Amino acid sequence: MPNLDSELLRTFLAVAETGSITEGGTLIGRSQSAISLQIARLEQTIGQSVFHRNGRGVVLTDAGKQLYPVARDVTARLDATLRDLATTPLSGSLRLGIPDDHGRAKLTQIVGNFARSHPQVQLDVTCSLSPDFPGMLAKGRLDLAVYEVQNPAPGEEIIYEDSTHWVMSKHRNLLDLEPLPVALFDRACWWREAAIAALTAAGKAYRMVYSSQSVAGVKAAVEAGVAVGVLGKSSIDRSMTILREKEGFVPTPSSKLVIGAGAHQDADLINSMKEEIRAAFQGRSTPFT
């Protein structure tokens, strides 16, 4: 029975994740003809097509969808094994802060991958509201943290940027109410300050009818039709209407998700965790459509 070559799997992943033979080749430094040849070899090996070709690029076939998670797992395991064999194992401890609103699925990925690659490192993870994290880093209570800022400080690495918008439930029009009911964060953070500044700049009379410590709380108030609020684009769903300047709402600043580091002395440990965080927050979604 023929074997699946790991290099063919890496080529398959590059094309699957870019949706293009040409871009897949650019990603891994191979020509379009070399990529096409390797995909043909892969399809010959398994006896089925892994891509549908169309005018915009390629999409996965049913066989490709079945192969994709296996290829991701196999190549990740091979890379992790090579790191383990080729380098001195990391050890020690690391205190990590992950924001609660972003954190559950990301936390599983980050901790799971890091623990498999570096089993001798003890992790102490705080999953809570991110406005506390810069202070915890400064006081030496965390070694590394992910949190949101409006304007990154020196040393803070941006890993994701999310535009913010005023939003309202599609099922209840609140624009004729005066004063305007709004939902705000109940902590001193830039999201709250930005919302109030935008309302003031627009000359809108408002009253705070709902406050929450989290994005989830503000989102719940908006979805329920209780108030308008400011949310990141990644949190806005089809039940909401984005309110723009034509409705009298001035733009609000984007949110930058950053990695901040404390005074931990083990650079290899810090850099290894940063790589896992980047992979979790910057990774592409599974290309199943």
Domains identified in the chain and CATH numbers: 6-86 (1.10.10.10), 92-161+256-282 (3.40.190.10), 164-253 (3.40.190.10)
Neighbours of 138 (CB within 10 A): 12
Q: Higher confidence at residue 179 or residue 287?
A: 179
Residue 19, SS3 per DSSP: coil
Neighbours of 64 (CB within 10 A): 24
- Taking 50 as the threshold, does the pLDDT of residue 173 lie above it? yes
Task: Enter the DSSP assignment of 139.
Answer: T
Give the three-state DSSP class for 184: strand
pLDDT tens string 90-138:
889 999 998 876 656 778 888 888 988 888 999 999 987 788 899 999 9
225 — alpha (psi -120 to 50), left (phi > 0) or beta? left
Q: What confidence tens digit (pLDDT) does each residue in 3-13 have? A: 889 999 999 99
Does 225 score more than 60 pLDDT?
yes
Q: Is the pLDDT of residue 245 over 70?
A: yes
- The answer to whether residues 154 and 258 touch, using CB atoms and an 8 Å cutoff, is no
Would you state the pLDDT for residue 132?
85
pLDDT recorded at residue 88 = 72
Q: Round to whole Å and give the CA distance between 217 and 65.
A: 36
- Give the pLDDT confidence of 13-37 residue by residue, as tens digits: 999 988 999 888 888 888 989 999 9
- Residues 202-216 have a mean pLDDT of 90
How does strand 164-169 pair with strand 240-243? antiparallel
Is 60 exceeded by the pLDDT of residue 284? Answer: no
Is it the case that residue 286 has pLDDT exceeding 50?
A: no
Distances (CA, A) of 154 to 131, 158, 258: 17, 11, 11
**Nearest one of 281, 269, 275 to 94, comparing CA atoms:** 269
Reference 165, options 220, 223, 232; nearest CA is 232
pTM above 0.75, yes or no: no
Cis peptide bond prior to 89, omega within 30° of 0:
no
Q: Is the CA virtual torsion 219, 222, 227, 230 positive or negative?
A: positive
Task: Quote the pLDDT of residue 285.
Answer: 38
Judged against a pLDDT cut of 50, whether residue 190 lies above it is answered with yes
Q: Where are the alpha helices (DSSP H) in the chain?
A: 6-18, 21-28, 32-46, 62-86, 100-117, 133-138, 190-202, 215-223, 267-282
Per-residue confidence (pLDDT) for residue 210, from 0 to 100: 94
Q: Quick check: 211 pLDDT over 60?
A: yes
Residue-level pLDDT at 283:
62
More confident residue, 181 or 29: 181
**How far apart (Å, rounded) are the C-alpha atoms in residues 77 and 116?**
9
